[in-house]
């Protein structure tokens, strides 16, 4: 039997990138995946092929009423919600003095408020059934500051602490809550940022100790672990999946010593 057989999973931001990779992995592991995004996806037939009841709906995660109605519809159809992955997110930033208020609001609304609304929409169901795994997608940029990161760093740092708070408040009701902090992962969002700045991509790759960008499937693997029974005693944690980016700084010393 597949590890997630019979589980019902909601994945936000499921049309592309990390959200799509999570939907594909969960479906292959036997879950029914109810994804949502603000856009359609040409890749979703692969999810449905693995799990026929799965589907992708159009939903804005900043709309609390829509999120609540979406979760209620899932419960009405399937009777429960076992897994939530909050992969919806946007990137933006700049030094505070150069960042306009509208850009700040947009990033906070989608990345942080959207995560809160997604959790709020499912938490009572999970608490009532005395089980559930909430997996938020934060970032290494929520752990350490990044030059020009400002609002993105702030939003992802907020996601990490919100995730821990949910673990504290709902653990005794059987709900687990953990954050994944991806490093620099090859996704459409990252590609849009890096393509105009090849020097930045080269620097990030150099500082990633495995010497490459990550793949969305590698984050999906971490999410699968947190969703599975193998993580039954794991809650309130921040799982960093970054190829060693946050391990420390590289200054070329080992290369000078011949270790290449």
* CATH number, domain with residue 93: 3.40.50.720
Q: Tell me the pLDDT tens digit for each residue of 33-46.
A: 999 999 999 999 99
Q: Residue 197 domain-assigned?
A: no
Say if 136 falls within a structural domain: yes
Q: How many domains does the chain have?
A: 1
The two tokens of residue 32 are: 């029914």
Instruction: Kindly state whether residue 155 falls inside one of the protein's structural domains.
Output: yes
In a domain, 156, yes or no: yes
Q: What is the Cα–Cα distance from 78 to 85, expressed in whole angstroms?
A: 17
Q: What is the pLDDT of residues 214-233, one digit of tens each?
A: 999 999 999 999 999 999 99
Higher pLDDT, 248 or 198: 248
Q: Is 260 part of any domain?
A: no
Residue 114 lies in a domain: yes
Catalytic residue of the set 116, 152, 170, 245 = 152
Contact between 61 and 35 under an 8 Å Cβ cutoff? The reply is no
More confident residue, 198 or 80: 80
Q: State yes or no: is 152 an active-site residue.
A: yes
pLDDT at 1: 61
* 190-207 average pLDDT score: 83
Q: pTM higher than 0.85 for the full model?
A: yes
- DSSP assigned state of 29: T
| pLDDT tens-place string over residues 77-121 | 999 999 999 999 998 888 999 999 999 999 999 999 999 999 999
Q: Structural domain of residue 178, as residue ranges? A: 8-187+215-242
Q: Please, is 256 exposed, middle or buried when counting C-beta atoms within 10 Å of its C-beta (0-12, 13-18, 19+)? A: exposed
| Cβ neighbours around 148 below 10 Å, total | 13
């Amino acid at each position: 039997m597949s590890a997630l057989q019979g589980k019902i999973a909601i994945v936000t931001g499921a049309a592309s990138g990390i959200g799509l990779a999570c939907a594909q992995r969960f479906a292959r592991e036997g879950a029914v995946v109810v994804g949502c995004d603000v856009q359609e996806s040409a890749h979703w037939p692969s999810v449905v092929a693995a799990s026929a009841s799965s589907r992708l709906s159009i939903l804005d995660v900043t709309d609390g009423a829509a999120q609540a109605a979406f979760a209620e519809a899932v419960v009405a159809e399937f009777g429960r919600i076992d897994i939530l992955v909050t992969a919806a997110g946007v990137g933006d930033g700049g030094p505070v003095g150069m960042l306009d208020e509208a850009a700040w609001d947009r990033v906070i609304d989608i990345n942080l408020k959207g995560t809160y609304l997604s959790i709020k929409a499912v938490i009572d169901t999970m608490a009532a059934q005395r089980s559930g795994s909430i997996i938020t997608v934060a970032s290494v940029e929520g752990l350490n500051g990044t030059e020009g990161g400002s609002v993105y760093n702030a939003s992802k740092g907020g996601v990490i602490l919100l995730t821990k708070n949910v673990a504290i408040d709902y653990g005794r009701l059987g709900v687990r809550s953990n954050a994944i902090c991806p490093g620099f992962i090859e996704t459409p969002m990252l590609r849009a940022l890096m393509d105009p700045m090849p020097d930045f991509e080269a620097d990030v790759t150099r500082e990633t100790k495995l010497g490459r960008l990550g793949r969305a499937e590698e984050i999906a693997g971490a999410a699968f672990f947190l969703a599975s029974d193998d993580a039954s005693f794991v809650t309130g944690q921040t799982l960093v999946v970054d190829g060693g980016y946050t391990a420390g700084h590289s200054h070329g010393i080992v290369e000078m010593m011949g270790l290449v």
